[in-house]
Structure 1
Amino acid sequence: MSAPAILVVALPTPLRRLFDYLPPGYQPPGAAKDMFAQPAAAVDCHSLQPGVRIKVPFGRQELIGILIAVKGESEFPLEQLKPATEILDQSPVLTEDILELSQWASGYYHHPLGEVISTTLPTLLRQGQAPERQREQVWQATDKGRGELGALLKRAPKQQQALDLIKHQYLSSSQLAALDINRPILKGLQEKGLIEAIDRLEDNSQTLLAETPLTLNEEQQQALSAVEFDNYNSYLLRGATGSGKTEIYLQAIAKVLEQGKQALVLVPEIGLTPQTLGRFQHRFNAPIATLHSGLNDSERLQAWLAAQSGEASIVIGTRSAVFTPLPNLGVIIIDEEHDLSFKQQDGFRYSARDLAAIRAQKHHIPLLLGSATPSLETAHNCERQRFKLLELTQRAGNAKPPAIELQDIRRQALIEGFSQESLEQIRTELDAGNQALVFINRRGYAPTLMCHDCGWQAHCPNCDARLTVHQHPRHLHCHHCDYQCGMVDQCYSCLSSDLTAVGLGTERSEAALQDEFPDVPVIRVDRDTTRRKDAMQNIVDEVNKGEPCILVGTQMLAKGHHFPDVTLVVVLDADGGLFSADFRGPERMGQLLTQVAGRAGRAEKPGRVIIQSHLCDHPLLQTLLHDGYPDFAQQLMGERQIAHLPPYRYLALLRAEDKNAHQAMAFLTQARQLAEQIFPSSVSLQYLGPLPAPLEKRNERFRYQLQINAGQRQDLHRLLQPLIAQLDELPLGRKVRWSVDVDPQDMA
C-alpha cells in the first residue's frame, strides 16, 4: 500500500497548533479495527488544495477545519493518526490570499490559526453547509414606473424612495431590505404596476454610473489625482467633517470599476451601512454586497459568495469584512479610520485597519483612510512618510465650518444639566425652523442611584460598577455585565426611602427637553432606542424630513451621519475624557467633540456648537477650540513621546481573569517572571504590573493585566512567541482565562 497523504488541518480550538489526519477511509497497518464496521475505500487526497473544508473527529466530537497543507509524512506514527471523516469541498472555499492573511494575523496577534480562520468564514460554512449561490429575483421598474413623477406616491414616501432606487438599477429584496425597504412596500408598488420581479440578468448595456458625479473642488481634485491605483500606498484623507470625503471615495471606486476590479469599503458600525449603501446605490449601476452583524446567516453567506465569485463589484461592511474574498480587489477604503470599533476587543483581537494595510500591500493596491480626526498612530505614520497625507481644509459646496463656543458652567444654575443660555439657544433655532442636537455620552436616566441620608449607592453585584437608572421601563441596569433588577425604593444601608437619581443620561436629558419644549419632537439616539433592525435608519429618515426637532444621544450621533437641518449642537459634558484612566482618553475626547461639532451646519445653513465645561481653561480644550484637531493631536503626540507611549512605543497587554482574584494575579506574576527570564527589563523592553484593570471586577470575575512596552516592534514579538508557549504549559494557565492583546486600543 502506498504511503497516504497526511492532511494538515487548522481547527477552531484554542490550541496553538495544527493537526495531522489521514485521508477518509484510510486504515493504517497495525491500527485497531472495528470488526463490525464496513470498510470504506480510502480517498486519494494528494491533489487537494489548501483552503478546502474537512470534517474530522476531535475527541468526542466532530469539527470542521480548513486544510492548510498536504504532506508525505507525519512526525507521529500512522497508527496514532485518525482518518478524516469527510472532504466537504472539491475546490477551496478559502482563497489563497485570505489564507495568507489569516496566517499573518495569527502570527502577529499570537492567536490560534484555527480560530482566526473561523473568523473569516460565514457561520453556515463553518457549520458545513455547501457554498451554493442562490439566484434570487430582482426588481425592475415597469414602463409605467419609469414614467412616474411622484403624484401617485405623494402619500407614500417609502414607496417613492423604493421606486427611485429601482429606476436606477436592478435590486434584490435583500439589497432593498438593507435600505429599510421591506416586502409590503415592494408589494404595494407591484400592485400599482410600477415595478416587477424578474430573474437576474447580466445587463451589459447599463452605463457604470447611475448619476453624474459631483464636481470636485480644487482640493478634492488634487487628493483624487494623488492616488495611484496600480501600486500600493496608504493614503490618509484628512478632511474636516462635511469636506466631501465620500465624494472622493465614490470617484476613486469609479476608476477601479472601470478597470473591471472590485472595491472594499469598511465603515465603523452597521448604523452607517444603510446610509453609505444608499449613496453607492444612487451612484453606481453595479452589484453591491453588504456584510455586517445585522444580516442573518443566510444573507451573510450569499453576500460573501457574491463577493467571492466577483459578482459583487463593491462590498460594504464592518470590521470582519476585511477578510472577505475578492478575486479582483482594486482598492480598500476605511471611513472614520480612527474609530475604536475597527479593533476587536475580545477573542481574536485584530485591527481591521492594520490588516487592511497588509492586504493592500500584498495586492499592490491603494488603501484610502478617511477621517476628520485621524488616530495618532495614523498621523505618526504620515509624519514618518509611511502614509501619504491628502488634506481637505474646506467644506464641500457652500457649507461653512460651525462656530464653536466653550461655555463655562461653573457656579451656574443648571436645569437637568443644561445652562439657561443653552436652552435659549435651542429655542432660537427651533423657532427659526431648524433642528438642534444635544450630545451626552451616557445612556440611561442617571448613572447612579444614591441615598440622600447616608450616601449609599446601588452597585452591581457582579461588577465594580454602579447600576444605571433607567425609566422606560423603570429598572436598574449594569452596562458592563447586563445585570438588571427592579427599581429600589429603600436604601439597603439605612432603610431610608429618600433615594435620588444622581447624574445625567440620555433618558433624563430627553425628559428635560420634552418638558421644556412640549410642542417639538425629541428624538433619543442610543443603544436602547436603536436595538431593533432598521431603527437607526428610521430615525435618520425622520430627521431628514427637515421638520424642527431635537436629537439627543450618545456617540452614535457623531459617526458620519448627515443632518442638513441641524444648525446647533450642544455638548453637555465635555470633561469626562480629561480624567480617563486610559491614556487614550484625551485623544478620544478630542475626536468625539470634533466629530459631534461636525454635525452642525453641513448644508446651506450656518452652524454653531456650544460645549459646556467646568474646565474651559484646560490647555487641551483651548488648543482644540482655537487651533483645531491637527494641533491638538500634535500636543498629545508630544506628551506621548515624553511618556514613552504609542505611537512612539509598542504595547501588548497580557490579560487574566478569574473568579478567584488570587489565581489571576498569581498567573500574571508567573508570566512576568518568565518574561524577564527571556528578555530582562531594560530601556528597550519594560514591564508594568501585574495591576488591576480599571474595572477590576466584571461579571463576577476579577481582572488583572501585565503591560509590556517595547521600543521596537520586533522585540515585542521576540518576547511574546516563546512566552506564550511557556504560558500554555503553566498549570495556572489552564485554570484562569487569559489572553494577549497586541496593540491594545482599550486599556480597560
Structure 2
Amino acid sequence: MSTCENTSDPETPPASATAAGVPAGSAGTGQCIYLAVALDVPLPGLFDYVHDVPVVPGTRVLVSFGPRRMIGMVWAQREAPAIEAGRVKAIEAVLDDLPPMPADWMRMADFAAGYYHRPLGEVLLPVLPASLRKPSAYLGPRAAGGPVRRADRRPGRARAWGGESPAAAGTDTVAPIPPVLNAEQSAAWQDLRGMMSAQPGPGLALLHGVTGSGKTELYLRLAAEALAQGRQVLLLVPEINLTPQLEHIVRGRLGNVAVMHSKLSEGERLRAWLRAARGEAEILLGTRLALFVPLPRLGLIVVDEEHDTSYKQQEGLRYSARDLAVWRGHDLGVPVVLGSATPSLETWRRARRGDYRYVSLSRRALAQPLPEVRLVDTRRAQLEQGFTPQLLTSLEARLGQGEQSLVFINRRGYAPVLRCASCGWVSQCARCTAYTVLHRHAGGRRHTLQCHHCGDCTAPPRACPDCGDQDIQPMGRGTQRIEEFLGERFPGARILRIDADATRRKGSAEALFSKVHAGEADILVGTQMVSKGHDYARLGLVGVLNADAMLFAQDFRAPERLFAQLMQVAGRAGRRAGGAEVLIQTDYPEQAVYQALRTHDYARFAEAALAEREELGLPPFSHQALLTAQARHLRDALDFLGEARAVAQAMPEGAGARIYDAVPLRVVRVANIERAQLLVEADGRGALHRLLRPWLVEVHDLAQGRSVRWGIEIDPLEI
C-alpha cells in the first residue's frame, strides 16, 4: 500500500476491483498527487483528494464523502491541498470505462457554472446519464464491469471514442428526393450555406419563417452539408413529443441519428449518449439535455423553436439550452441556426441590430395562404359550454367537408375547480395555496381532485365541507370537459384528446399523433403540445378557448408568450390546402396582441413590445437575477431575503443595480413549503454579475444555521 493510501478513512472499505475501475494504489509511485474533485453537492468550491498517480482532468473517480460514496469528476491537480494534508482522503477508484471528458465540454461546463453561479459539481455530474454517476453501478458482485461495458456487450457496439463515424445500421434504404425549393427558400439556403463555408458575416443566424414555410427543409440541407464535411450535427427541439415525427424525417433523409430526451429509459439514454460522444452517431436529435453531450466532430447546431420556454431548465442548474448553444457554437467556431416563426424578443433584437444573420421566410413553402384569423367577441355571445355559436357552426361545417378541426385550450383536466354555489367554497389543496383541478378517470366513472403543483390527489367530497350542500359543481372547463361536450354535441365525430394526462405512458403521444396524421380523428382537443412542430395535412379549423387568461398576467413576458402560443397553434391550420380559418374567442378583441395576430404580423408585435420594454427598462434592455427562498414559514423566507437585500445594498458592487423588496411568490405554499423571491436588476450584464459574485458568497454564509433553502436564477423567465 502506498503512503498516499494511508490518508484515506480507515473505516471506509476499498472499492471492489472491477474492469471499470482502477483501485487506488494499483500503480503506486509513492508520491502524493492532490486533486481538486467536483461533487454534486450544494456546497461551493471543489474538494481535495489524493492519489498516487496523476489523473487527467475530466476523469470520473469514486470517492467517499462523509458517510457515503459518490462519483465525482477531477477538475485539476493541486500543488498542495487547501486543508491539512493528513485529513485529505484518497481516491477509492479511477473509473476508466470512459476517456476523460473533452476540453471543449469542460470549457462549456466551466462557463455555465460561472454564468449561472452554481458549484462546478452541480453542472458536471447531473448532465451525465444517471448510470455514469451512480456508485452502485460500479460496486458489488452485480457491477459486471460497469454500465458502459455492459452497454458495449450489446451486439454490434463500436469501441471508438471520437474517431471516424462507422456506417450506420439500417441506412441502406433509398433516401427520399428533397423537395424543390421556391425562390425565397433558395435565397435563404444560399445565405445559410455561406455560414458552412466560412463566408463573411456572423456564424449565427435567426431563421425567421412563418409556420409551414419550410424551415425544417433548410435544417436538413444544412445538416447534409455538415455531414458531407465529416462533421456531426446537434439538432435541439423544445418538446419530447416533437421528437418522433422529426426523428422519422431526419432518419429518412440523413440516416445515422441518436435521440435523447427525458422519457428514455436509463439504458436507452446511456446508449444514445455513447453513440454521440464516440462520434458513431452523426446527428444528435434531442431536447435541452442533449446540449451537454460531448460531440467530437461537431459542425452545426440548430435550435428549432428557439423562443420556447422549455429550453430553460427550471430546477437545479437553471440554464437556457438556447443561450448555451449560442455560447458553444461561438467557442468552437461552429455555425448556429436559431429557427422560429415567433422569435424571442431577445433574439429578434440581436438579429435586427446585426449581431445575428437575419434570414426570412415570409410565405409558406407549398404556396398555401396563411389561415384567416377571426376574433370572436364573447362579451355578448350566448355561450354553450364555453363555445360561441360561430365556433360550433364552423366545427359542424368542417365535419361536413371531411376536414379536421383543432380545439385549443391550455388547461388540462375536467374543470379548474369544484365549487359550492351556496356558500362559495372552492376545492383547494391542503398543502398548497392553489386550487385543486377536477380530473376524470376510467371512462368518466371516477373523478379525483388533483393539485398541479404538488401532485396530491384526493377523492372529491360528496357534499360541501363547509355548509353540507350536496350540489357542488365543476366550474370552468379543461380538455376533458371539452372532449365530453364535443362528444355529446357531435356524436358521429371521432374526437381525440392530446394533453399531459393522455400521454403519460411511453409511446402514447406518438401513437395519438399517428392517429391524427392517419386521418383517424375529426376533432382534436389539446393543450400546447399540439401547437408545436406538427404538420397536420387535413386541418382546416383551429378554435381557441380561454386565451384571455394570459392577457393580464402579472409576468411582463405573458403577452409575448400568448402571441407565440397563438401564432404557433394558428399555424397548424391550412398547411396543405387553402380556405383554413382560426377563430379566437376573446372578451378583448381590441388588444394589440390579437390585432397583430389577425394579420400574422410578428414584426408589428415585436417592435411594439420592445418599445414598451425599453421605456420600462425591462429585458432585453436590462438583465435580471432572481433570488428565491423556501421555508416552513413565510416569515422566515422573507426575513432571510430581507437580510440578503440589506447586504447587497451595503456592497459597493451593488451601486449599479436595482434591488427590489422581497415578496411572496404568486403560489406561496407548495407541499407545505412557503416561498418568496427577491429580484435584482441591472442595465448591464457585467454590472449584474459583478454584484452577484461576492454577494452570493455572503448569502451562502447568511443561510448557515437557518432552516431556509435558497437558490439563484439568472435571466429568469417567470417573475
Partner of residue 58, structure 1: 65
Asked whether the 8 Å contact 1:343–1:350 carries over to 2, the reply is yes
User: Which of 22, 30, 34 is matched with 2:50 structurally?
Assistant: 22
For residues 644 and 84 of structure 1, what CA distance do their matches in structure 2 show?
51
Tell me how far apart the structure 2 counterparts of residues 386 and 328 of structure 1 sit (CA, whole Å). Answer: 26
Separation of aligned partners in 2, 1:326 and 1:208:
26
Provide, for residues 636-694 of structure 1, a one-character-per-residue CA deviation record: whole Å limited to 9, x for no partner.
11111111110110000000011111111111001101111114765x41011201111
Partner of 1:270: 240
Match of 1:240 in 2: 210
2:129 corresponds in structure 1 to 122
Closer, same or farther in 2 for the Cα pair 1:234/1:79, shift >3 Å?
A: same
- Please give the alpha-carbon distance, in whole angstroms, between the structure 2 residues aligned to 1:364 and 1:207: 33
> Percent same amino acid among aligned pairs?
41
Q: CA deviation at 1:624?
A: 2.9
Deviations 1:506-528 (A, max 9, x none): 11111110001111111011110
Residues 146-185 of structure 1: pairs in structure 2 closer than 5 A: none
Matching residue's letter, 1:22: V
Change (3 A) 1:493 1:642: same
C-alpha change, 1:446 and 1:203, in structure 2 (3 Å) is: closer
Q: 2 CA distance for matches of 1:378 and 1:452?
A: 48
Is residue 669 of structure 2 the alignment partner of residue 716 of structure 1?
no
- After superposition, the Cα gap between the structure-2 partners of 1:734 and 1:315, relative to the gap in structure 1 and judged at 3 Å, is farther
User: Are the structure 2 counterparts of residues 621 and 204 from structure 1 closer, same or farther at C-alpha, using a change threshold of 3 Å?
Assistant: closer
Q: Retained in 1: the 8 A contact 2:654–2:691?
A: no
CA distance in 2, matches of 1:205, 1:642: 56
Q: Equivalents in 2 of 1:679, 1:297: separation in Å?
A: 48
Which residue number in structure 2 is paired with residue 353 of structure 1? 322
Post-superposition CA distance 1:135-177 (Å, at most 9, x none): 6558xxxxxxxxxxxxxxxxxxxxxxxxxxxxxxx9xxxxxxx
Match of 2:196 among 210, 229, 232: 229
Contact 2:57 2:100 in 1 (8 A): no
Moved more, 454-463 or 66-75: 66-75
Q: Is residue 2:53 matched to residue 1:44?
A: yes
Q: State whether structure 2 residue 497 is matched by structure 1 residue 524.
A: yes
Which residue of the partner structure matches residue 743 of structure 1?
Answer: 715
Which residue number in structure 2 is paired with residue 101 of structure 1? Answer: 108
Match of 2:253 among 283, 291, 297: 283
Aligned-partner Cα distance in 2 for 1:570–1:221? 34
Mapped pair 1:89 → 2:113: no
- Stretch moving more, 327-336 or 548-557: 548-557
Residue 735 of structure 1 deviates from its aligned partner by: 2.1
Determine if contact 2:373/2:597 at 8 Å carries over to the other structure: no
Alpha-carbon separation, structure 2, partners of 1:262 and 1:712: 35
Correspondence 1:401 to 2:370 = yes
Match of 1:700 among 672, 686, 707: 672
Contact 2:495–2:521 under 8 Å retained in 1: no
Q: Is 2:512 the partner of 1:539?
A: yes
State the alpha-carbon separation in 1 of the partners of residues 582 and 424 from structure 2: 36
List per-residue Cα deviations over 1:530-550 (Å, max 9, x = no partner). Answer: 101111111111111225510
Post-superposition Cα deviations, 1:711-748, rounded to whole Å, max 9, x if no partner, equal 0001111111111111111245752111000000122x
Match of 1:160 in 2: none
Letter in 1 for 2:661: G
2:221 equivalent in structure 1: 251
Aligned length, in residue pairs: 664
Which residue does the alignment assign to 1:373?
342
Structure 2 partner of 1:585: 558
Select between 337-346 and 691-700 the one with higher mean Cα deviation: 691-700
| 1:207–1:410 CA distance, 2 compared to 1 (3 A) | same
What does residue 167 of structure 1 align with? none
Once the two structures are TM-superposed, the CA of residue 314 in structure 1 deviates from its matched residue by 0.3
Correspondence for 1:341: 310
1:228-286 C-alpha deviation (Å, 9 max, x unpaired)? 115562211111111000000000000000001000001111101111100011112x3
1:729 matched to 2:714 = no
Alignment of 1:376-391 (within 5 A): 376-391=345-360
Paired residue type of 1:78:
A
The CA deviation at 1:210 is 1.6
Match of residue 425 from structure 2: 456
Q: 1:582 to 1:679 in 2, by over 3 A?
A: farther
Return the alpha-carbon distance in structure 2 between the equivalents of residues 205 and 418 of structure 1: 49
Q: 1:506 maps to which residue?
A: 479
Contact 1:267 1:318 in 2 (8 A): yes
For residue 40 of structure 1, what is the aligned residue in structure 2?
none
- Asked if residue 494 in structure 1 is aligned to residue 473 in structure 2, the reply is no
What residue in structure 2 maps to residue 134 of structure 1?
A: 152
- Equivalence for 2:298: 329
* Higher mean displacement: 730-739 or 601-610: 730-739
Query: Using a 3 Å threshold, how does the CA distance of structure 1 residues 576 and 205 change in structure 2: closer, same or farther?
Result: closer
Query: How far did residue 122 of structure 1 move?
Result: 0.8
Letter in 2 for 1:563: Y
Structure-2 residue corresponding to 1:690: 662
Partner Cα distance (1:595, 1:733) in 2: 48
Partner of 2:660, secondary structure, is strand
What is the rounded CA distance, in whole Å, between the counterparts of 2:654 and 2:590 in structure 1?
40
TM-score (norm: length of structure 1)? 0.86
Computed over aligned residues only, the root mean square deviation of the Cα atoms, in angstroms, reads: 2.0
Answer whether contact 1:685 1:708 (CA < 8 A) is retained: yes
Q: Distance in 1 between matches of 2:422 and 2:543?
A: 34
Q: Which AA in structure 2 matches 1:628?
A: D
AA aligned to 2:587 is: H
Structure 2 CA distance, aligned partners of 1:307 and 1:418?
A: 49
**Residue type of the alignment partner of 1:619:** A
Aligned-residue offset at 1:601: 0.4
C-alpha displacement of 1:74: 2.2
Contact 1:434-1:547 within 8 A present in 2 as well:
no
Partner of 1:157: none
- Aligned letter for 2:275? A
Letter in 1 for 2:271: Q
Give 2:76's aligned residue: 69
C-alpha displacement of 1:383:
2.3
CA contact (8 A) 1:624 1:631 kept: no
Residue 182 of structure 2 is matched in structure 1 by 217
Please say if residues 40 and 126 of structure 2, whose CA atoms lie closer than 8 Å, have aligned partners that are also in contact: no
The AA in structure 2 aligned to 1:229 is M
Is the 8 Å Cα contact of residues 494 and 520 (structure 2) preserved in structure 1?
no
Matching residue of 2:20: none
Aligned partner of 2:141 in structure 1 is none
Contact 1:53 1:87 in 2 (8 A): yes
Q: Which residue of structure 2 lines up, in the alignment, with residue 158 of structure 1?
A: none
Following the alignment from structure 2 to structure 1, what is the Cα–Cα distance between the partners of residues 170 and 635? 70
Question: Equivalent residue of 1:615, what SS?
Answer: coil
Q: Which runs of 5+ in 1 are unaligned?
A: 24-42, 139-169, 171-199
Asked whether the equivalents of residues 667 and 732 of structure 1 are also in contact (C-alpha less than 8 Å), the reply is no
- How many angstroms does 1:350 deviate by? 0.4
Partner SS, residue 307 of structure 2: coil
* SS, match of residue 22 in structure 1: strand
Q: CA deviation at 1:90?
A: 7.2
Structure 2 CA distance for aligned equivalents of residues 52 and 416 of structure 1: 60
d(CA) in 1 for partners of 2:577, 2:480: 31
Q: Which residue of 2 aligns with 1:671?
A: 644
Change over 3 Å in CA distance of 1:733–1:362 after alignment to 2: farther
Q: Distance in 2 between matches of 1:431 and 1:57?
A: 69
Q: Name the CA shift for 1:707/1:201 in 2 (closer, same or farther; >3 Å).
A: closer
Q: Does 1:364 align with 2:336?
A: no
